[in-house]
A = this chain, B = another copy of it.
Amino acid sequence: MRKEFGAEQYFEDFAPGDEFRTGPVHFDEAGIVAFAREFDPQPFHIDAQAARHTLYGGLIASGWQVCAATFRALVDAGFLRGGGMGSPGLDELRWKKPVRPGDDLEVRLTITGTRPSNSRADRGYVDFAVDVRNQAGETVMSYRVTEIVRRREA
């Protein structure tokens, strides 16, 4: 069921099947190049001219930028506000389509499972499927991630 993030979210507030979406995350050439110069200076991320002669046919965003910028959109939307305790990791990250200057991405987050911690009474684990789509509705990136979330009574 599609939901909105509340002012705060704790372990008890998440149920499998819940879905959340963010507003659009815009990518432009200057932002793509600036991120890549700092973190991923490969030719198809930092040089629009050179990128024309690669398999991508033009500048594309670093996959790490797609991860980080869409995560920011989740935090801005209120994701894990209050209860977030970090993440042990993620799985099956796939960069499926290039993200190019002018693209606007939407993040769709679906809860796939929840389980209380066996060893710590104050927290639980919430599993999410992340599906990032561009303005054409194409999935450009997806992954599964687990977050550690504080219990409301803790």
Contacts and interface: CB of A to CB of B under 8 A. Distances in A.
Interface of A: 38-42, 44, 54-56, 60, 62-64, 67-69, 71-72, 75, 80, 84-96
A87 B98 CA distance: 11
Q: What does DSSP make chain A's interface, helix, strand, loop or mixed?
A: mixed
Contacts of A54: 85
Given A42-B75, A89-B94, 6 more contacts: A39-B71, A40-B75, A42-B80, A55-B86, A67-B67, A88-B94
A71 B39 CA distance: 7
Report how many copies the assembly holds.
2
Contacts of A38: 68, 72
A39 B75 CA distance: 9
A72 B39 contact: yes
